[in-house]
Amino acid sequence: MELAVYAQTFLKELSNEPEDSRIDFAVNVARNISTTVLPPGSEAMKQFTLFLESNMREKSLSAPLCILASSICDHQWGNLELEDLTTIIRICVEYADIQHQPTPVRMPLLTLISHLPIKTPPQALDLLALARAAGRGARDPKVLLILFKTIAGLVNQLDSCLSGVKESSLATELQSVFDDLSLYYPLEYEPKPGTPNPVPREALVDAYNDVMLSSPRIVPYSVPFIVDQLTLAKEQDKIACFNDIVTVIDTHGIWPLSQISRDVFWEIVHDMAHSPEPTREAAMRCLRVLLDHDSLTRTSLVDYCTREFRFDSGSHASVAAVLELSAAAAESASAREMLPALLADLFRRLHYVWDLSRTKAGQDHFIWLAGAARVVSGAKDRVSGIATEVYQASIDAPLPISPRSCDQMHPVSALLAATLERITDVAPHVQNDISAIAVDLLRSWFDIAGGVDHMDDNMIDIAAKAVGISHKHPLRLVAANLETQLNSAKVESIDSLISDPIYGPVFELLRHIHRHKSVKTKGRPKPHDGATDMVIQLAHCRSDDAALKLLKKLVASIPACPIAVEATVFILESFRTSPSSSVLSDLVSKLTTTSLIHDSALGLASALRPHIGVSSDLNKIYSSANTTTLKELAENPSPEEATVQVAARLLIALGHPAASLPLTLEQLLLRLVVVSDPHTAEKVTAELAPTLRGLSSTVVKALSARFIAACDGATPVNEAEVHCVVALVNCASAFIPNDTVRQLGQTMVQVVASGTLESSMMVAGQLNAMFSHYKDTKAVVEVAGLLLGLEGQVYGKPERQAAVLVALAGLLSTMPDPAIPIVCKLRDGEAVNTMLSGIGHHGELEVSPGVAGQCAHALTRVARLAPAVVARSVAVIVTESLETSKNLPLDDASLDSLFEMMMDLLYHMATSAKSATDPVSLRLAVIFQLRPLLDHPRAEMRRAARRARCRWFLE
């Protein structure tokens, strides 16, 4: 039948339906429209459009007719002309009071608009206007999703069809698009609990941002609007504004903000001093991005901070804010451009505050000193040799109208005066003690200044005079104080002293000071067994030559003196000049000493390796070494443990492609991992992996074949071989094909499922280590999918279930962030249910507290990165977490880690609480049940419980 006749029949049948069910009737009719409706000709279409025009304004008929028209257009798409389609859509949009129509009416119209091809420039603007009209005032997430996508698609097509369009017409339409979309900013949407097939929050936000933030046509309108919102918005909305500015810069560069970046900067300055911590964090993220892209922001920051340094900054909050801004500059990629002027005025302000502190009590000196330490330490990895530039910046800076005494002082003298008085012969007790901060600040300054050579005697004398040090050589007194501090350290090894948060900076500062010409190094103590004595000797080595002289003395003390081994490793790793081939040969011979502690020997071999690798006498060193253990490793099927350990050391030190080894490197490595312990195998593999390069794949394939043989559960897997494979994947993944790694992952999953119980748990614990740094997300997802597929195979086998839990929890805890949402969608969210079983059935499946903690940690990461995934199970997760936490014995400190994991999980689940069926009851239950845990006997646990409970209070 003709379209017009069909429409009249539809209208007649519709009149027999109750008014409140007409939309449902129209939807059902639309679903049943088939190709039996005759393709309309031009006359038939004209009659049909006249029919729509004459009836569409009738309020009771408009919605059903829109649905009918949309369905006919959809089914007759290929038979209708573009002009006819546009006409029908226009009638529906303009005559049907579309703003007040429900979702079933709007959705088909917007879908049709999104599919219409653009053939002429005016049509592009016309379709944009139709899309805006069809979606205006919409609140349903499904309508909004298709509206945003439609507008984004149309706007993205504009550039290809704008010839002949007036710029004013284009600007007017784009302004209208922005005006309509800005009403939704910032987009706040969370799926309502119980909604069937809800629109994911991420999908709606991404579609909105595709228009507002990603489209180069809309960004010139949206960015000034977002910046204006910064000054008016609530705190939560401010965070969204800052994050959106970052997105714009990441997508388009700085050009959308080129005229208003200064406004953003001043808003950041305001928020840093007056807003709560979440807003400050968002402001700092935005500032860091601006500093990397915008020279105007860098200039504004330097001008503002230097002005604040020269004058009173007011409250402690204002001081903290300006120091935070300076720290951001120091951590920026453009730090070298900004730091000279900042440090020149900051050091002088330090002197000013220090001078005031001598006559006025208060915390100002501590605050400024701690802030300066953070600024300088933040620049350590970004700038070097900056001392001259800082001095030049201090000369170029104009003097204030009312200069202070420090304004004409050399910045380094000002820094020395503000710190030296705090460096006494008494070691601080805590890391945030003002003397420890002074040491750290001065050490960090020498790091970025390029050492102490920039300090002349006059600069030091000015500082010493200001402080009141009457010593002829002030730095000698400072060095003596630092040595006294080191002597008070109660440590047993050099590593523990250097890594100590208090004594480590003291040692590094002492090293710097001993490089100054005014500090004599005569009278050094002879080598002793004590770590502090040896550390002081190392600090006295002001040059590579001095270090190599000490190294020669240390060689004679190996292996009798363990501290000598540590000192040797430190010299080999810290100084650039390589020892002579004779010293290297002597050290290699020490590696063969069986009385040498194995871990120390492995560390010594690792430190020797790069020096031997660049030596022109590599084969000479190799020929002079006692390499019989390498030969025995290659020939003896069952070498003794001592032989294996020595062979491992030699393989690390001498395992270079140019060395004349008894077998190839990969053959020796394969032999070693068969007979060595896991720690040794992992250490040797990690050292050789960069040298093996492409051969790494050969080793992985060989070991993977051995794992396959152990999948039947008859023979255990060699743990050393597993550690070797993990180290290779971590250190040489660039040289191993992805297919090889995937096959290896599949094999290891088979071992988890059917290997011996010991092998199953061991391999499960290593899977996460193997994929923790692996770049191929697809491989990680495949392995996780295989683990989830083991559910039926391991059901009723508690030990196997525990192994699967360990493997999956480890993967979820370490896999790359983008893989989390993908894995959690596999098998309809089975990953979350599996982790939940590790918490909820703790004990029933013989799950240890450690495994339960891993499951809690994995769920926490899922809740943080994929909140929509856990939203469906929020009530169950919270209930099981509370139950487990309450049942943990409070007097058992070994369970504290599990308790903290549970509290952290509850903390992050608060964000998803709104998705629960009864969020209010759930919130009250958490607050009530966590109350007794606030009386936990240990303070750390009380803090964890309080943190989780407060989060639920605030939600």
State which H helix or E strand residue 289 sits in: helix 277-293
User: Rounded distance, CA 451 to CA 443, Å?
Assistant: 9
**Sign of dihedral through CA atoms 111, 115, 121, 122?**
negative
- Whole-Å CA distances, 802 to 732, 759, 808: 30, 13, 10
User: Nearest-CA neighbor of 375 among 440, 429, 433?
Assistant: 440
User: Nearest-CA neighbor of 479 among 442, 527, 448, 531?
Assistant: 442
648 Cβ contact partners less than 8 Å away, ≥ 6 residues apart: 602, 605, 672, 676, 680, 683, 684
CB atoms within 10 A of CB 395: 8
User: Nearest-CA neighbor of 866 among 917, 831, 901?
Assistant: 831
Residue stretches of the chain with pLDDT short of 50:
1, 34-36, 38, 523-525, 842-844
- Whole-Å CA distances, 523 to 200, 318, 480: 73, 49, 13
User: Encoding tokens for residue 531?
Assistant: 């770590």
Residue 1: per-residue pLDDT:
47
What contacts 24+ positions apart, CB below 8 Å, involve 635-644? 635/662, 638/675, 639/675, 642/594, 644/672, 644/675, 644/676, 644/680
Rg, C-alpha atoms of the chain:
36
Q: Helices (H) and strands (E) in the chain — how many of each? A: 50, 0
User: Rounded distance, CA 93 to CA 106, Å?
Assistant: 9
User: Rounded distance, CA 667 to CA 657, Å?
Assistant: 13
Helices 503-513, 531-540: inter-axial angle, 10-degree rounding: 30
DSSP alpha helix (H) spans, 38-81: 42-55, 59-75
The answer to whether the beta carbons of residues 379 and 330 sit under 8 Å apart is yes
Q: What is the pLDDT of residues 718-756, one digit of tens each?
A: 888 888 888 888 888 778 888 888 888 888 888 888 888
User: Rounded distance, CA 224 to CA 555, Å?
Assistant: 68
The answer to whether the beta carbons of residues 451 and 508 sit under 8 Å apart is no
User: Encoding tokens for residue 702?
Assistant: 């060989």
User: Encoding tokens for residue 203?
Assistant: 């999908």
User: Nearest-CA neighbor of 241 among 204, 186, 181?
Assistant: 186
Please report the DSSP string for 362-425 in residue order.
SSHHHHHHHHHHHHHHHTTTT--S-HHHHHHHHHHSPPPSS--GGGGS-HHHHHHHHHHTT--S
Residue 40: half-sphere exposure toward Cβ, Cα within 13 Å:
23
User: Rounded distance, CA 798 to CA 847, Å?
Assistant: 8
Q: Provide the residue count of the chain.
A: 955
**Sign of dihedral through CA atoms 282, 285, 287, 289?**
negative
3-class secondary structure per residue, 417-465: HHHHCCCCCCCCCCCCCHHHHHHHHHHHHHHHHCCCCCCCHHHHHHHHH
Residue for token pair 């900042």: 342
User: Rounded distance, CA 760 to CA 748, Å?
Assistant: 9
User: Rounded distance, CA 489 to CA 486, Å?
Assistant: 5
The pTM score is: 0.72
DSSP type of residue 198: P
469 Cβ contact partners less than 8 Å away, ≥ 6 residues apart: 420, 477
CB atoms within 10 A of CB 691: 15
3-class secondary structure per residue, 624-637: HCCCHHHHHHHHCC
Asked if the peptide bond before residue 559 counts as cis, ω within 30 degrees of 0, the response is: yes
User: Nearest-CA neighbor of 347 among 305, 304, 298?
Assistant: 305
User: Encoding tokens for residue 125?
Assistant: 């603007």
379 Cβ contact partners less than 8 Å away, ≥ 6 residues apart: 330, 331, 335, 339, 386, 444, 448
Residue 550: half-sphere exposure toward Cβ, Cα within 13 Å:
30
904 Cβ contact partners less than 8 Å away, ≥ 6 residues apart: 856, 857, 860, 944, 948
